[in-house]
């Protein structure tokens, strides 16, 4: 089967790379691999979503988002399971509970999926969503996985890079990223990965999915910017995979390349997926934003915010120390 490729970088993982990471992961010393106290989570109900104004968002954890745009309920990379793992008895475990249970969401208009890694495409969540979701929008060949899990093919739209689809007055554009895909040793790069532009005449936001830094972000900014809000991967980084994940300095540059007005760091503070302390990404990106006069929004999980006027200056993790 043909494999998908990045435009600027070939990511090769050999046994030596894996062995080195595992040695550091299990043998290294970190002062705070995970929180020692309960993280703040603001619980909300589905009625709160219905009552919220249009162009509203809420962080659920890691890269999972709930958005309300044009009256439509949108879930982005929904991961509600306890672990981001092939099995629920082992693997990275959540630091915090979800601000809303998936069982308490009676319907979803659109589920948006950036790629098929376990921390972005969750089988347990799809099992609960397949019958109460009107449409799934994702990348090439990810739909095959959804169909295997029982999602009706008629509900699925697959997009290649630069392709778009409009649903209920909202345009979704799949844009390039520099990453990879695979859920086992045997399906490497057999499905596509992407970021997404989500826009209406009233708002324009960018969701990075997972990516290393590359020139494509500047191209996206030229084609679709400026963005009211950028959700940019900022966490689970390591020098061994810098080509497919960004360090905070690169995350900030991505926001600038995209011509973003406000940046919201995602992909952090929910799972232990790298070798840094759990709050290091938030601290580093906060310092960088201050040094570069970038408006940074860091809401508590479950806190509603406006997509086109996101102002959440609270640095909630600092009060936990």
Given pLDDT bands bounded at 50, 70 and 90, which one contains residue 26? Answer: low
Residue among 95, 93, 84 at smallest CA distance from 36: 95
Going by C-beta distance under 8 Å and a sequence separation of 6 or more, which residues neighbour residue 131? none
The CATH code of the domain that includes 316 is: 3.60.15.10
Residue 98 and residue 106: Cα distance in Å, rounded? Answer: 16
CA 286 to chain centre: 19
What would the pLDDT profile of 275-296 be if each residue is shown by its tens digit? 999 999 999 999 999 999 999 9
With beta carbons less than 8 A apart as the criterion, state whether 307 and 202 touch.
no
- The reported pLDDT for the residue numbered 30 is 82
Residue range 68-77: average pLDDT? 98
Question: Closest by alpha carbon to 29, among 279, 276, 282, 272?
Answer: 276
Q: Exposed, middle or buried by CB within 10 Å (0-12, 13-18, 19+), for 22?
A: exposed
Residue 111 located in a structural domain: yes
Rounded to 5°, angle at Cα 222 from 217 and 228: 80
In 10 A of CB 72, how many CB atoms? Answer: 18
> What local confidence, expressed as pLDDT, does residue 313 receive?
79
In a domain, 228, yes or no: yes
- Report yes or no on 7 lying in a domain: no
The DSSP letter of residue 143 is H
| CA–CA gap between residue 270 and residue 248 (Å, rounded) | 17
Q: For residue range 164-215, what is the model confidence (pLDDT) as tens digits? A: 999 999 999 999 999 999 999 889 999 999 999 999 999 999 999 999 999 9
Neighbour count for residue 171 (Cβ, 10 Å) = 15
What does the buried/exposed string (b/e) look like for 182-194 if buried means 16 or more CB atoms within 10 Å of the residue's CB? bbeeeeebbbbbb
Is residue 178 in some structural domain? yes
Instruction: Retrieve residue 103's tokens.
Output: 């069982």
Query: How confident is the model over 109-137, as pLDDT tens digits?
Result: 999 999 999 999 999 999 999 999 999 99
62 sits in the region (left: phi over 0; alpha: psi -120 to 50; else beta) called left
Does any domain span residue 3?
A: no
For residue 113, how many other CB atoms are within 10 A of its CB? 25
Q: Does residue 5 fall inside a structural domain?
A: no
Residue 20 lies in a domain: no
What is the CA 211 to chain-centroid distance, rounded? 10
What is the C-alpha separation between 237 and 178, in angstroms, rounded?
A: 14
CA dihedral 85→179→252→32, nearest 10 degrees, is 30
**Given this model, what pLDDT does residue 321 score?**
67
147 within domain boundaries: yes
Q: Are strands 64-69 and 72-76 parallel, antiparallel or unpaired?
A: antiparallel
Number of domain units in the chain = 1
Question: Could you list the residue range(s) of the whole structural domain that residue 287 is in?
Answer: 41-320
């Amino acid at each position: 089967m043909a494999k998908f490729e990045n435009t600027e970088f070939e990511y090769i993982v050999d046994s030596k790379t894996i062995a080195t990471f595992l040695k550091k992961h299990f043998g290294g010393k970190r002062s705070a691999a995970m929180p020692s106290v309960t993280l703040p989570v603001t619980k909300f109900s589905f009625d709160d979503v219905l009552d919220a104004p249009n162009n509203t968002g809420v962080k659920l954890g890691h890269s999972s988002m709930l958005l309300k745009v044009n009256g439509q309920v949108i879930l982005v990379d929904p991961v509600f399971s306890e672990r981001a793992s092939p099995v629920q008895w082992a693997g990275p475990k959540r630091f915090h509970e979800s601000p809303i249970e998936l069982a308490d969401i009676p319907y979803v208009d659109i589920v948006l999926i950036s790629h098929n890694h376990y921390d972005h495409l969750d089988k347990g969540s799809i099992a609960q969503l397949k019958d109460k979701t009107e449409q799934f929008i994702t990348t090439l060949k990810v739909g095959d996985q959804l169909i295997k899990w029982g999602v009706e093919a008629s509900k699925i739209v697959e997009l290649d890079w630069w392709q778009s689809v409009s649903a209920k007055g909202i345009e979704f554009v799949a844009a390039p990223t520099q990453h990879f895909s695979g859920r086992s040793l045997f399906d490497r790069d057999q499905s596509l990965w992407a970021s997404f532009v989500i826009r209406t005449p009233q708002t324009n936001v960018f969701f990075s999915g997972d990516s290393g830094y590359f020139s494509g972000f500047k191209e996206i900014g030229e084609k679709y910017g400026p963005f009211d809000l950028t959700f940019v991967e900022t966490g689970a980084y390591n020098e061994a995979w810098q080509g497919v994940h960004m360090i905070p300095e690169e995350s900030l540059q991505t926001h600038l390349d995209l011509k973003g007005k406000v940046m919201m760091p995602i992909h952090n503070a929910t799972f232990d997926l790298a070798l840094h302390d759990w709050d290091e990404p938030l601290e580093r990106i906060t310092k960088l934003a201050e040094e570069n006069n970038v408006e940074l929004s860091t809401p508590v999980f479950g806190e509603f915010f406006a997509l086109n006027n996101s102002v959440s200056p609270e640095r909630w993790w600092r009060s936990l120390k």
